[in-house]
Amino acid sequence: MKKAITLGFLEVLFLISIGSITFAADNDIALPPGYSQNEFKDLSETLGLAISYKPLAPAEPLGILGFDAGIEITAADVDQNEQFLKDATQDANPPSFFVFPKLHAQKGLPFGIDVGVVYAKVPDVNIGLIGGEIKWAVLKGSVATPAVALRGSYTSLLGIDDLDLSTYGIDLSASKGFAFLTPYIGIGQVWIQSKENTVLPLSEENLSRTKGFAGLKIKLLLLSFMGEVEFSQVLSYSLRANLSF
């Protein structure tokens, strides 16, 4: 059973990784002449939610000796029929998903605190991101009780010369382990700050959006696998494969 679950996760991760390499080889994002304020706002919201921090971890802390490091994929579902996306990619048929291959690591600290970092670069496209988190387990959880955690996070968009975009987030999550399975849920708020770097007369956008998420961690000896769905104006799906210590 455990072997089947492991192989299934690896197969999905591989298929999404292949898709991320080929999904948008000619879809660099730039702000063309005539790009409107409404288009800029919609683009900022879409990119901001797509790159916002994805926890991919239960609420329970790793512990002072705990360390997770691995590879990760996030696929953000965007509406390819939106004009703002067609204009920004200069493509009549832009991708329906923004797919981010990532490196992700988290380290346990004393007092129920974990810190984490993430880095992503989309192959052949001018989109990347870097980010970090600090999480505090308000309740560490036990055999009978769930864990509850508060998290603060930050991400910054990389690679798009025409745009400076960053996100700040806070969320509350809860999880409860059952043998090698740990499901978790959470809700949070994301603040998006976006500023253009062109001669276009576009004002800075400062947006606030609510999101929810649900996921599952599968722990198999030194390996762990996570799957997570994030619910917001931009639905996203994430998978992660870790070495866990």
Using CB atoms within 10 Å of the CB of residue 150, give its burial: 0 to 12 exposed, 13 to 18 middle, 19+ buried. middle
CA distance 151 to 171: 5
Kindly state the tokens that stand for 20: 């991320």
CATH (domain of 173):
2.40.160.20
CA distance 175 to 27: 38
Please state the domain count of the chain. Answer: 1
Nearest to 99 by CA among 71, 70, 130, 123: 123
102-120: average pLDDT: 96
- Tell me which residue range forms the domain holding 18: 2-244
121-127: average pLDDT: 81
Kindly state the tokens that stand for 184: 């978790």
Q: What mean pLDDT is reported for the chain?
A: 89
Q: What percent of the chain has pLDDT over 90?
A: 74
160-172: average pLDDT: 96
Choose between 117 and 89: higher pLDDT: 117
Question: What is the per-residue pLDDT for 91?
Answer: 84
pLDDT band at 26 (very low <50, low <70, confident <90, very high): low
In this structure, are residues 81 and 57 in contact, taking their beta carbons and an 8 Å threshold? Answer: no
43-61: average pLDDT: 96
